[in-house]
Structure 1
Amino acid sequence: MSARRPQPHAKGAPLPPARAAALAALDKVLRKGQEVQAALDAVLADAAARNEASARANASKASASNSTTHVANASSTTPDGSALRHAGISRQDAALATELVYGYLRSEIRISWLLRRFLTAPEKLPPEALLTLGVAAHEIVHLDRIPDYAAVDWAVTHIRQRFGPGLGKLANAVLRNVARLGGDARNAEMYHADLPDPRDFLSVHHAAPRWLVDLWCDAYGMDRATDLLASSAQAPAPAVRVNAARPGWQTLRDQLIADHGGTACGHAGVVFPVGGFPAEVAALERAGLLSRQGAASQEVLDALRPDTWEGPVWDACCGRGGKALALLERGVDVGLCSDPNAGRLRGLRADAERLGLAVPAIVRASATQPPCATDGTCPAGGPGGPARPVPPVQPVTPDTPVTNVGTASAGAFRTILIDAPCSGLGTLSRRPDIKLRRSPADLDALAALQGRILDAALSVLPTGGRLVYITCTLNPAENEAQVERLLSPTGAASAAPVIVEAQHTTPADTPAREFFFGVVLRKG
């Protein structure tokens, strides 16, 4: 129908900046498959650039008709464009856009179910119109500080201007029906009444894919799965890691706890109440006094007793180096960091310099084929096993030389840390877009990759060395089953036996609302 085709924007109230940014970012996530934070950052950066260009154009026009003194006084109020950056999308709008994007993704399954109660054929609506209804419904159901009429008004106006009066009337009726639900929209009883199957109820009420509900119920039982699902559907508590390499770090940690109602976590961390980072965190971060790192990530590392690890340590899946830097801050001998992603490695180098830490050797390499021998070969089956060629190590940047682990013998690294690529199911509160991208087939592929990485690490780990394995997921195939395979006499590629020295799983009632698994294995 022609009324449902996008129409040029009619004259009238423009789409509010926060809603415009949220819809644009969600389109990138849902339609283009971008990662949520990258999509949101891109949209906000584009808005800032447009605002700055517009402000400069206006300033240029003004300079033609005003005195030089007047222009100088005006420019002095916006040093480095800082005020222009928020000229059209304020900090408040940016914060609301962030809440709308993350909140909608966390609740999308529940919101879609609610909308279907009042839509006979939602699949026939234009995707933009359906997304607009979903974001507005999320505001009505979950954001108490926004009046229902305000959420209805912007969404109906936008849909009417884009798709015509017919869909505008439909949007008005649907959203008013959602608003009439009142508190029932968050009340478990309403969902129980329409969803008699307990797992269907958990899926809708906690906005989780049914396959994930089945996975956690089968693995952990209904009660624990319910707790995990409830935590994963809420915003995580923000946390920082105070730089323990700086003098007086304990005083800074204690001050942050006292000033902001925080609690200690891990070795040098602070977890704050849900609602955002304190204002001074950005300045302290720039000064190298702290870094942003999730509480559960800090806790799993501390629970595995890194002070007892024999060095040097090789972080073979270092990413941007959050855990490697945490180890360096507490004096652990990290000799090498490797990862296949050059961009992340450049970030690691920059963060190490910001924190005032000696930059460890950094190489670009896959953990499935570690570069680890002086003669260009690695033992594939433990001591005395056949050798395999090692692919060339690629430098992190063309003009910055990096140290090759090949300068040391294969047995130089007494501890290998595998912060493994995983399904990320323990981080749904922080990365809710994972629910849209993951499938059971992805979990199988990741488990296979983890197995190859673990076997490669064991093949170069000397006798008596430690293998530390960490994931940010809750999936037995990626966690406990990997350990069981390595403990089996016939399960791992290495013939040497391994024993478990320490193991940790984040408890379901953690205030962090994120979940990690970790284990320390010693090679016999």
Structure 2
Amino acid sequence: MNDSPEKSRLETSKSMNDASNGAPRERRKPAARRSRPVTPSRGVAFDVLMAVMLDDAYANLVLPNRIKAAGLSTNDAGLATELTYGTLRMQGFYDRVIANAAARDIDTIDPVVLIILRLGVHQLLNMRVATHAAVDESVNMAEHFASLGAVGFVNAVLRRTSRHDLEDWQEFVTKDEKNDDSRLSIIYSHPLWIERAFRQALDAEGRGSELEKCLAADNISPRVTLVELPGFAETNDEVEGEPTTYSPVGMSLNTGGDPLRFARVRDGIVRVQDEGSQLAALTLSRHHDVVEGEKWLDICAGPGGKAALLAAEALAGGAMLTANEIIPGRADLVRNALKAVPGVEVVVGDGTEYGTAHPNTYDRILLDAPCTGLGALRRRPEARWRKTPRDVAELTGLQAKLLESALKALKPGGLLAYVTCSPHLAETRGIVEGALRKNAHVAELDAREALARVALQDVDLAGKDLSVQLWPHRQGTDAMFIALLTKSKN
């Protein structure tokens, strides 16, 4: 490259290292405020990113409240959302760019300044924001939120970044990587262990060539999808949307903004829910005809999205649903999610002990197991920077216990759906195969055939297993895993 990042780094190293703003984690007196305020959308994005970094907040929970509090217009809300989620998704890559442009390690940059730089780099490399506007607005944010020394530092780093486009930076920050896994991990901003887990899962399906598409899909904002509770929302003429590709009860929102502006969403009969989650619930509820009086169980029901759909399906067929949740606060979320559907019992209990207390009781059970959530990185981008391989080890132990408990609670001849929002093989096939080895009286059923009966169109599934693995790059859903199990009557 002409005027390569490496050459520029050497030229600017001394001046950057001399800048007073680089001391780590040190709070300084903010610069004198300009008369021009920070744009509302950038201010909201900055606040959310600060909460995520310093308070371990979840962007999907904080952002809507900040948008509402700021009274943002639809366009400004869209900009704040892109700034927030785009910056979080590409954080790993941006940090490498910043480290080069600043000629210093990321850990030596004050958190406030680092967030301003990440926002600026995102605008320069991945948004249609004019260079002068991206730099100037970032400098303005530094004058409002950071120290006097930070203003010049932010200006210098972003002007240095703006000399090269995204492809140039991708080439430079990966030039020393020795293998494809490391290179793809950096370019698509996924921790290496997650990239390798995705590769392993795709290789198991014979689709390893799809890895780049898979990683790229995690960095694209998903459309808002809704579920219309069967029996409650068929006459919906308020929410503007179009049918989802596969789910017979789903719709994609045509317009941006907060779905809660629609009365039917506020009433809970039209709900925000990923299409993959809808298919997971329907594969259980519509596997075979419902016999009136059936007992259904959602053994890990919080926060209640799938439980609401199951409750509507149960009500239509004359079945009775029990929703169990171990944490009282999350049980309250389940009650709120089910407020539109009468007759559901919500209980608080430990799912790993539920089967012992209620053996051979339920005709259909949903075990939507706690998992790493690696299948929903599009929606929860900060999760990729918080999860570790240790989380997998801890969760798989819990998942195995929950599945054993759920099998105890299942009636002989009943149907159990084991579901995770993760494609990690240890959380999916590993758990199912472990249960099959341990329980000779348990058999796996064909979830693919069951899904085919539910879905509006053919679903492109790979591999030879009986279970279903959905993917963002292939189906446009979260990476939901669905396996169906039954228990013999003998």
Q: Distance in 2 between matches of 1:508 and 1:288?
A: 26
- Change in Cα spacing, 1:345 to 1:412, as seen in structure 2 (3 Å) is same
Q: Normalising by the residue count of structure 2, what TM-score does the alignment of the two structures yield?
A: 0.80
Is the Cα–Cα contact under 8 Å of residues 423 and 442 in structure 1 kept in the other structure? Answer: yes
Is the Cα–Cα contact under 8 Å of residues 296 and 362 in structure 2 kept in the other structure? Answer: yes
Give the aligned residue type for 1:126.
D
Is the Cα–Cα contact under 8 Å of residues 7 and 162 in structure 1 kept in the other structure? Answer: no
Q: Normalising by the residue count of structure 1, what TM-score does the alignment of the two structures yield?
A: 0.75
1:373-392: CA deviation from partner (whole Å, max 9, x where unpaired): xxxxx3xxxxxxxxxxx6xx
CA displacement at 1:508 relative to structure 2: 5.3
- Change in Cα spacing, 1:446 to 1:282, as seen in structure 2 (3 Å) is same
Q: Distance in 2 between matches of 1:511 and 1:369?
A: 35
Calculate percent identity across the aligned residue pairs: 26
CA displacement at 1:126 relative to structure 2: 1.3
- Change in Cα spacing, 1:414 to 1:261, as seen in structure 2 (3 Å) is closer
- Change in Cα spacing, 1:420 to 1:177, as seen in structure 2 (3 Å) is same
Is the Cα–Cα contact under 8 Å of residues 239 and 292 in structure 1 kept in the other structure? Answer: yes
Is the Cα–Cα contact under 8 Å of residues 336 and 362 in structure 1 kept in the other structure? Answer: yes
Q: Distance in 2 between matches of 1:505 and 1:220?
A: 10
Give the aligned residue type for 2:30.
P
Which of 33, 41, 45 in structure 2 is aligned with 1:11?
Answer: 33
Q: Distance in 2 between matches of 1:471 and 1:413?
A: 21
Is structure 2 residue 225 aligned with structure 1 residue 239? yes
Is structure 2 residue 81 aligned with structure 1 residue 98? yes
Is structure 2 residue 386 aligned with structure 1 residue 437? yes
Which 5+ residue runs of structure 2 have no aligned equivalent? Answer: 1-17, 22-26, 448-466
Is structure 2 residue 468 aligned with structure 1 residue 504? yes
Q: Distance in 1 between matches of 2:143 and 2:472?
A: 45
**Matching residue of 2:487:** 523
**Matching residue of 1:265:** 246
Is structure 2 residue 185 aligned with structure 1 residue 203? yes
**Matching residue of 2:199:** 217
Is the Cα–Cα contact under 8 Å of residues 300 and 506 in structure 1 kept in the other structure? Answer: no
CA displacement at 1:276 relative to structure 2: 3.2
Q: Distance in 2 between matches of 1:337 and 1:343?
A: 14
**Matching residue of 2:12:** none
**Matching residue of 2:368:** 419
- Change in Cα spacing, 1:440 to 1:10, as seen in structure 2 (3 Å) is same
- Change in Cα spacing, 1:267 to 1:120, as seen in structure 2 (3 Å) is same
CA displacement at 1:363 relative to structure 2: 0.4
Q: Which moved more, 1:427-436 or 1:505-514?
A: 505-514
Give the aligned residue type for 1:295.
E
Which aligned pairs between 1:350-499 and structure 2 lie closer than 5 A? Answer: 350-353=336-339, 355=340, 357-370=341-354, 378=356, 410-488=359-437, 491-492=438-439, 496-499=441-444
1:180-209: CA deviation from partner (whole Å, max 9, x where unpaired): 3235368x6666656452112211111100
Which aligned pairs between 1:6-45 and structure 2 lie closer than 5 A? Answer: 6-12=28-34, 13-41=36-64, 43-44=66-67
**Matching residue of 2:262:** 282
Q: Distance in 2 between matches of 1:320 and 1:153?
A: 42
Aligned residue pair count: 435
Q: Distance in 2 between matches of 1:436 and 1:339?
A: 27
Is structure 2 residue 111 aligned with structure 1 residue 127? yes
CA displacement at 1:295 relative to structure 2: 1.2
Give the aligned residue type for 2:251.
V
Aligned-CA RMSD value: 2.9
**Matching residue of 1:340:** 326
Q: Distance in 1 between matches of 2:395 and 2:56?
A: 19
**Matching residue of 1:298:** 278
Q: Distance in 2 between matches of 1:322 and 1:440?
A: 27
Give the aligned residue type for 1:30.
M
CA displacement at 1:43 relative to structure 2: 4.2
CA displacement at 1:244 relative to structure 2: 1.5
Secondary structure of the equivalent of 2:417?
strand
1:464-496: CA deviation from partner (whole Å, max 9, x where unpaired): 2222111111111110011111221xx24xx63
- Change in Cα spacing, 1:11 to 1:116, as seen in structure 2 (3 Å) is closer
CA displacement at 1:167 relative to structure 2: 3.3
Is the Cα–Cα contact under 8 Å of residues 284 and 366 in structure 2 kept in the other structure? Answer: no
Give the aligned residue type for 2:244.
T
- Change in Cα spacing, 1:265 to 1:19, as seen in structure 2 (3 Å) is same
CA displacement at 1:445 relative to structure 2: 0.4
CA displacement at 1:317 relative to structure 2: 0.6
CA displacement at 1:149 relative to structure 2: 1.4
Is the Cα–Cα contact under 8 Å of residues 420 and 469 in structure 1 kept in the other structure? Answer: yes
Is the Cα–Cα contact under 8 Å of residues 141 and 185 in structure 1 kept in the other structure? Answer: no
CA displacement at 1:434 relative to structure 2: 0.8
**Matching residue of 2:132:** 149
1:387-415: CA deviation from partner (whole Å, max 9, x where unpaired): xxx6xxxxxxxxxxxxxxxxxx7433122
Query: Highest CA radius of gyration, 1 or 2?
Result: 1
Q: Distance in 2 between matches of 1:223 and 1:262?
A: 30
Q: Distance in 2 between matches of 1:3 and 1:44?
A: 34
Which 5+ residue runs of structure 1 have no aligned equivalent? Answer: 49-84, 373-377, 379-389, 391-408
Q: Distance in 2 between matches of 1:294 and 1:204?
A: 28
Give the aligned residue type for 1:344.
R
